[in-house]
Amino acid sequence: MGRQKRGRDISGIFLLDKEPGVTSNQALQAVKRVFGAKKAGHTGSLDPLATGVLPLCFGESTKVSQYLLDSDKSYRASIMLGQTTETGDSDGRVIETVSDFNITEKDIVSALKQFEGTIDQTPPMYSALKVGGTPLYRLARKGIVVEREPRQVAVHDIKLTGCDLVSREIEIIVSCSKGTYIRSIAEDLGGTLGCGGHITALRRLKAGKFEESNCHTFYQLCEILERQGLSGAEECLLPTDSAIIHFPKIKLPTEAVRWILNGHAVNANELPETGLLRMYDENTFIGIGFVDSDGKLAPKRLMQSVHKPMD
């Protein structure tokens, strides 16, 4: 028999405002300990330097984590022009400095335009992507550089929101698809301008429908725990279906629910031709369904515990 996992069977989504200087997994484990949760996972890494929106899924909510991982993100980044580092951010060693360059704000705005739309982006060596099962950053720390295939990513919008040509630091806000590396944008922007560049600050403003205004810091969570106990901390958890609120909602009659929960497809009214749906037994979220090739509603991911649904 395998060793049984310790912890509580707790489900929900905690929106963490990650602090700088910790990895996403370190942040996850700290919050997991607060809740005493048996099962937990995050929905896309943030660099140690980065702050902001990091949705953490517990228990049954881990079943929807992939949809958060696949969601669009928004970031605010500060970029230092004139310096290139080995990691693409200020945590890394400076490997090149260009002190003599003359760039205008107009030059920067013009250069940023080339990053809008669907672009090919080469992942940085200092990233969590794996080659042969080994994260790239582990190879990079050993001085090993491997070939990385460019990947298509979508930059929906990129704006210059701050420009100090004296300190040579600029600020941008980027709305993009999953898998977009803001560090790579900073490095490529510096290359386009002929001076190099690296990230000095990075904040995730939005992940899917979740925004920074909805988040709690770890310190705030600990304060709530101290004042209100575990029940107060659990009030910070969002229901599972909040992660997929953009999916169409369908309420099913009792008999259809029984068939769905047993893994069968059912006929249902007003189904779209394709796509995923949120399925409910009255007001109880029971899982994610899809329209199969016969035009029936079929189960994709089913919940085992009960949550109060999002309206």
Q: Mean of the pLDDT values across residues 11-32?
A: 96
Write down the CATH superfamily of domain 73-198.
Pseudouridine synthase (3.30.2350.10)
Do the domains 247-302 and 12-70+210-241 match in fold? Answer: no
Q: What is the pLDDT of residue 11?
A: 94
User: Band of the pLDDT at 160, cuts 50, 70, 90?
Assistant: very high
What is the fold of 12-70+210-241? Pseudouridine synthase (3.30.2350)
User: Band of the pLDDT at 306, cuts 50, 70, 90?
Assistant: very low
What is the fold of 247-302? 2.30.130
* pTM exceeding 0.85: yes
Q: What is the pLDDT of residue 161?
A: 99
Residue 47 appears among annotated catalytic residues: yes
Round to whole Å and give the CA distance between 263 and 294.
15
Question: ∠62-74-209 over CA atoms, to 5°?
Answer: 45
Percent of the chain at pLDDT exceeding 90: 80
Q: Mean of the pLDDT values across residues 6-14?
A: 91
- Closest by CA position to 252, among listed 234, 270, 239: 270
Residue 163 CB-density burial (10 A; 0-12 exposed, 13-18 middle, 19+ buried): middle
Q: What is the pLDDT of residue 170?
A: 98
Round to whole Å and give the CA distance between 38 and 231.
17
pLDDT in tens, 200-231: 999 999 999 999 999 999 999 999 999 999 99
List the chain domain ranges: 12-70+210-241, 73-198, 247-302
Active site residue: 9, 17, 47, 241, which one?
A: 47
Q: Per residue, what are the HEC states of 131-171?
A: ECCEEHHHHHHCCCCCCCCCEEEEEEEEEEEEEECCCCEEE
Arithmetic mean of pLDDT over the chain: 93
